[in-house]
Structure 1
Amino acid sequence: MPSLLPAVAGNPALPPELLARLVADADEGLAQELAEELAEELAQRADLTPDQVRQLADGHEGAAVRLAGRGLLHAEDVDPLARPQVALALLDEGRGDPAWPRLFATHPEELVRERVASAVGLPDEAADLLAADESADVVAVLAVHTTRPDLLSRFAAHPVPTVRRCAAANEAMAAELLTVLLDDPEVMVREQAAAHPTTPGAAAARLVADHTMVRQALATHPGLPAETYHRLAGDEIPWVRSNLARNPGVDERLIRRLAEDDGHDVRRSLVQHPCIPLDLLTRLATTVRIGPALLLPRIGAADAAELARLAGSREPRVRALAASRRDLPAELRDRLAADPDAKVVKSVAPHPGLTATQLTAVLHAFGSMVATAVAANPGAPGWVLDRIVATPPTPVKALRTVAAHPNASPAALATCLASPDPRTAAAAAANPALPVAVIADLVSRHLPGR
């Protein structure tokens, strides 16, 4: 069983004296990996004193990086040569020394040069040094992140294909350069250029008969001519058609054509399309495994009349689509909570408007089938959560959800702490509803030497 100390360290209810003890003993008698994990968790707390910040930063590299990212360390606190990762974290937050990028651009460690190549607002002098780096991996990182047109033009003609591919992925890449990269001899470069939304659609369309990987990327492009989309809809590779089914650029006629596709992944992708007609979505709901808790984009955009129509369907899987909304009108929510089908009730059970009486009725009717969904309801009172824990068989996911619930009772949390599932025990140890005496006991049992 993994140590619960990192989870306890993140518990907002951890008393100051126990926080001080964990900081002081974070690396005494613990395996190095556990000590680092504990220190990084402590570094995210909002109640650290300046001395505790200093102690964590001095003793643990990962903790120092997190503290730098939170603004609790400053440039004058860090030796960039001795602790480059911490200094780079400060640069990422815009609080580093202006001289550091130039220093890191010639650092002997390649990973350090790669990290600085991804920095926001990189000075030109440092960028020029990195653009000429002997490592193509460093140049490739710069090619993804730079916004300088001159460097992007240079990278688009770079002799190393990986650099050209990374340049083609850059959001700032010019349309004319992307058009040139469509004719690159390397498949991976053409693939990236074909998927870039800035690539002119008419130019990208000429790759419609290219390599499979290129066609798969092309099918995601939002601005292709309609005839190109229809040609891709007949592609022999299901992955091409599946990518196309998610593409917001396809029209309703093509959506309806893809709905008849015999590739299950194609139809599964299609239900995620934000503009799929509602009648088509309800038909696909009976043949595609959607999952009761998944809110589809089209369902999220449905108006009140459409939701009522869905909720009145004879098909439970269609009613479950409406039940996935968390802003249902009260009358509709209550009707779905009383539905005779477990799929529908499971979908609506996490709705924050349900009362404790309704949640109890749901548990009474469907038991463990809906236990996890009920436990996910933010308004579920402690006694309802107790019932879930005390009624076997309790699904592991239900117990894990109870363990993280702010209304969980001490008794329920004790059961969760004893669970053989590490994630359940850790969630309970991090729950601020855990009694302070139990927190203290966990620290004493899991921290050696005291």
Structure 2
Amino acid sequence: MTPHGARGPAGLPERRLAGVALNPAAPQDILLRLLTGGPPAARMALCRDRPLPGAVVDAALTHPDWRTRAFLATNPHVDPARRMRLVDDPDWRVRARLAEGPADELDDPPDLLPDWAAARMITTYENDCLGSFRFPRRFSPEFRAAMLTHPEPKVRAFGIGMRSWSDLSEGERAALLADPDEEVRERALRTKDRHDRDRDPARVEAELPEHSSHFRTHLLMYAALSRAVVESVLASPARHHEWRMIASNRGLPADVVALLARDPDPGVREDIAERPDLGPDELRLLAVDPAPAVRLAVSRHPALTEEERAAIDYEVTLDGPFRHRVLPSAPRDPEETRRRALSGHPLLRRSAAGDPGLPPDLLARLADDPDLGVRVLLAQNHPDAPPELLLRCFLEYTGPGREDLPARGNFPVAGLARHAGHEDPAVRVLAARDPEAEAETVERLTRDPDPRVREAFARHARLPVDRIVELLDDEEPAPAAAANPALPVEVMRHLVEPL
């Protein structure tokens, strides 16, 4: 059940109760009453979106409605150890939510599973419960490192799928192929077979499907290609789109790379420009390519000096999107990150800005970078992004991911009320985060023309009580007013009385 699905059909009384469920000043007895007798919208808000007293958590863990337990399973405000009491829940949908975890992509690392719980899920859950891409991201580094030697065979088998065969040592490969468990041996053998096939040009040629398919695309892009396969692709004008596929293949012969660097299709030339093995002739040719996208692609090439890079006529757009990046499993090379951070090329600096491990000196340098993308990516990704940078980026950047910035831990609140008259409604909403905003300003903005602003200020603790109570009868801001911590407890009790 989504928030929209739970709240959309609800009438005013139910929506008010959902607001009370989120009220940080609501006493425990009211929360328990909402949990046991409240409508789905209230139980969702209560169990999924807020911190909870221990007694409420205990009651939610044994609630008869699976949806309520599923809401609790994804609550980032509840101790993961307590949520793990749902690990053997009788409903697979609850177990699936527990494996998936909170849907907060800003967490890096994410909400980590206890090692015992991760093993329990792998060994007892159906595949449908483990299908989320977030599940493996929630493994601790220690659990991830020990999976291939774990005492549980299902964990060893699952671990094979998380590692490239080429990244395994000879000892690890031999142990998996001789594992006492048949499922582990079979999975290891299949993984080895795919690895060996992709590196055998003759076998790739023999197994390459004639018709378009995901398998054919995989082989053309990543497998070792025989000369015959490459020439058959180049000789088929009807399959010109496949030229871009082989253009990214790292085993492409040098003469074919040179040929594709002169292809009439700028898309092919752009893909070729991104190859790390370009020769000097191709670099010089692509650096003056008539297509701006090709010049931009080659301008980032690692073989270029900063002087050669600066000599290319490229343009970097500022339209984003600039978003939080999921950290790759392999750590970044700190020297490469430093080289990129000090580059004159904005895209290389943007790449460095996305590294949450950026050291303090580079953090300070990039926080004042002239490129908007660098500043926003730094704000989105670095855990120590300074407050002034976070606010500046919110004010300057209006693209996707902007709404994530106030969720960063260092985002400032003091002084935000000075933006209460800003022309952008999103900035006026930001002003509602200021705890020192004047009561007159707060009340005025509950009548703002933008509904987002009205809702934000209906929650403000400095809103006069009589205005809060008045808003409880207004269909639109009623849930926000019911969540206002300044709402008297006796009014809350009156709202839950019918339950």
Task: State the TM-score, normalized to the length of structure 1.
Answer: 0.53
Q: Distance in 2 between matches of 1:437 and 1:303?
A: 46
Q: Which amino acid aligns with 2:218?
A: Q
Contact persistence 1:216–1:240 (CA under 8 A)? yes
> Partner of 2:36 in structure 1?
24
> Partner of 2:187 in structure 1?
148
> Partner of 2:261 in structure 1?
233
> Partner of 1:262 in structure 2?
290
> Partner of 2:48 in structure 1?
41
Contact persistence 2:273–2:297 (CA under 8 A)? yes
> Partner of 2:247 in structure 1?
219
Alignment of 1:60-209 (within 5 A): 60=68, 62-63=70-71, 66=74, 71-75=84-88, 77-78=89-90, 83-86=91-94, 93-96=118-121, 148=187, 175-176=199-200, 179-180=204-205, 183-188=208-213, 189-196=215-222, 199-200=223-224, 205-206=230-231, 208-209=233-234
1:346/1:384 CA distance change after superposition, 3 Å: farther
Q: Distance in 2 between matches of 1:355 and 1:321?
A: 19
> Partner of 1:382 in structure 2?
413
1:236/1:99 CA distance change after superposition, 3 Å: same
Post-superposition offset of 1:273: 5.4
1:382/1:113 CA distance change after superposition, 3 Å: closer
Q: Distance in 1 between matches of 2:300 and 2:262?
A: 20
Aligned residues: 371
Match of 2:62 among 43, 54, 59: 54
Q: Spell out, residue by residue over 1:175-224, the C-alpha distance to the aligned partner (whole angstroms, 9 max, x if none).
A: 3497146631122232121223xx22556745651523432222333343
Q: Which amino acid aligns with 1:53?
A: L
Q: Distance in 2 between matches of 1:66 and 1:306?
A: 37
What is the DSSP-based 3-state SS (H/G/I as helix, E as strand, rest coil) of the residue aligned with 2:484? Answer: helix
Q: Which amino acid aligns with 1:72?
A: R
Q: Spell out, residue by residue over 1:357-384, the C-alpha distance to the aligned partner (whole angstroms, 9 max, x if none).
A: x999x89xxx9657989x8797564344
Structure 2 residues not aligned, in runs of 5+: 8-14, 101-117, 137-146, 148-152, 157-184, 326-331, 462-479
1:10/1:98 CA distance change after superposition, 3 Å: same
Post-superposition offset of 1:85: 3.8
Q: Which amino acid aligns with 2:199?
A: A
Q: Distance in 2 between matches of 1:298 and 1:276?
A: 19
Q: Distance in 1 between matches of 2:216 and 2:21?
A: 46
Q: Which amino acid aligns with 1:409?
A: P
What is the DSSP-based 3-state SS (H/G/I as helix, E as strand, rest coil) of the residue aligned with 2:84? Answer: coil
Contact persistence 2:421–2:428 (CA under 8 A)? no
Q: Distance in 1 between matches of 2:53 and 2:250?
A: 43
Contact persistence 1:310–1:321 (CA under 8 A)? no
> Partner of 2:437 in structure 1?
411
Q: Which amino acid aligns with 2:85?
A: L
Contact persistence 2:276–2:301 (CA under 8 A)? yes
Q: Spell out, residue by residue over 1:221-280, the C-alpha distance to the aligned partner (whole angstroms, 9 max, x if none).
A: 334333333333233333333333444454565445333333344345456656664345
Structure 1 residues not aligned, in runs of 5+: 105-110, 125-145, 157-169, 312-316
Q: Distance in 1 between matches of 2:119 and 2:390?
A: 49
Contact persistence 1:208–1:228 (CA under 8 A)? no
Q: Distance in 2 between matches of 1:281 and 1:427?
A: 50
Q: Spell out, residue by residue over 1:121-150, the C-alpha distance to the aligned partner (whole angstroms, 9 max, x if none).
A: 7699xxxxxxxxxxxxxxxxxxxxx97266
Task: State the TM-score, normalized to the length of structure 2.
Answer: 0.49
Contact persistence 1:359–1:380 (CA under 8 A)? yes
1:392 aligns with 2:405: no
Post-superposition offset of 1:52: 1.4
1:249/1:63 CA distance change after superposition, 3 Å: farther
Q: Distance in 2 between matches of 1:88 and 1:427?
A: 36
Contact persistence 1:179–1:200 (CA under 8 A)? yes
Contact persistence 1:399–1:424 (CA under 8 A)? no
Contact persistence 2:257–2:272 (CA under 8 A)? yes
Contact persistence 2:23–2:485 (CA under 8 A)? no
Give the fraction of aligned pairs with identical amino acids, expressed as a percent. Answer: 15
> Partner of 2:473 in structure 1?
none
1:195/1:444 CA distance change after superposition, 3 Å: farther
Post-superposition offset of 1:20: 3.7
Q: Which amino acid aligns with 2:86?
A: L
Q: Distance in 2 between matches of 1:353 and 1:437?
A: 30
1:149/1:306 CA distance change after superposition, 3 Å: closer
Contact persistence 2:296–2:315 (CA under 8 A)? no
Contact persistence 1:417–1:426 (CA under 8 A)? no
1:299/1:85 CA distance change after superposition, 3 Å: same
Contact persistence 1:219–1:240 (CA under 8 A)? yes
> Partner of 1:288 in structure 2?
316
Q: Distance in 2 between matches of 1:410 and 1:66?
A: 32
Q: Which amino acid aligns with 2:204?
A: T
1:301/1:226 CA distance change after superposition, 3 Å: same
Alignment of 1:292-311 (within 5 A): 301=336, 303=338, 307=342, 310=344
Q: Distance in 2 between matches of 1:273 and 1:354?
A: 31
